[in-house]
Amino acid sequence: MSTSTTTTARRDAAATPTSGRPSWTPVVALSFGIAMVVLSEFLPASVLPALAADVGVSEGTAGLAVAATAIAGAFTAPSIAVLLPRADRRTVLVALLVAAAVSNLAVALAPSFAVLLVGRLLLGVALAGYWSFAFGAGTRAVPGKDHVVSSALAFGTSIATVVGIPLASVVGDAVGWRTTFGGVAVLTAIGAVVLGLTLPSVPPHPAAGLKMLREALRNRRLMAGIACVVLVAFANFTAYPYIRIAIERVDPSTTTWMLLAWGIGGTVGTVLAGVLARWLRPLAATAPLALAFALVLAAFATTVPALAVAVVLWGFAISMMPVITQLWVTRVESERAESAMSLQVTAFQVAITAGSSLGGALLDGYGVRPLMLVGAAAAVAAGLGWAFLRVPRT
Note the pLDDT of residue 15.
Answer: 44
Closest CA to 202 of 4, 12, 10: 12
- For the segment 281-317, what is each residue's pLDDT rounded down to a tens digit? 889 899 999 999 999 999 999 999 999 999 999 999 9
Report whether pLDDT(135) > 50: yes
Closest CA to 74 of 154, 133, 114, 129: 129
Work out the average pLDDT over 58-66.
77
- For the segment 181-193, what is each residue's pLDDT rounded down to a tens digit? 999 999 999 999 9
Distance of CA 388 to CAs 58, 262, 291, 304, 384, Å? 41, 29, 18, 37, 7
Would you list the domain boundaries of the chain? 24-387
Report whether pLDDT(379) > 90: yes
- pLDDT greater at residue 294 or residue 77: 294
Note the pLDDT of residue 48.
Answer: 80
Report whether pLDDT(7) > 60: no
**Residue % of the chain over a pLDDT of 90:** 31
Average pLDDT over the chain, rounded to an integer: 83
- pLDDT greater at residue 313 or residue 78: 313
- For the segment 107-117, what is each residue's pLDDT rounded down to a tens digit? 999 988 889 99
Secondary structure of 60-98 in the HEC alphabet?
HHHCHHHHHHHHHHHHHHHHHHHHCCCCCHHHHHHHHHH
- pLDDT greater at residue 130 or residue 158: 130
Work out the average pLDDT over 254-258.
86
pTM exceeds cut of 0.85: no
Q: Do 53 and 140 meet the contact criterion of CB atoms below 8 Å apart?
A: no
Q: Compute how many other C-beta atoms are within 10 angstroms of the C-beta atom of residue 19.
A: 6
- Rounded distance between C-alpha atoms, residue 70 and residue 134, angstroms: 18
Closest CA to 133 of 392, 334, 340: 340
Superfamily of domain 24-387: MFS general substrate transporter like domains (1.20.1250.20)
Work out the average pLDDT over 199-228.
79
Label residue 198 by pLDDT band (50, 70, 90): very high
- For the segment 325-336, what is each residue's pLDDT rounded down to a tens digit? 888 887 877 777
Distance of CA 137 to CAs 89, 141, 208, 229, Å? 7, 6, 14, 22
Work out the average pLDDT over 133-141.
84
How many alpha carbons lie under 13 Å from residue 5 in its C-beta half-sphere?
A: 2
Label residue 393 by pLDDT band (50, 70, 90): low
Report whether pLDDT(196) > 90: yes
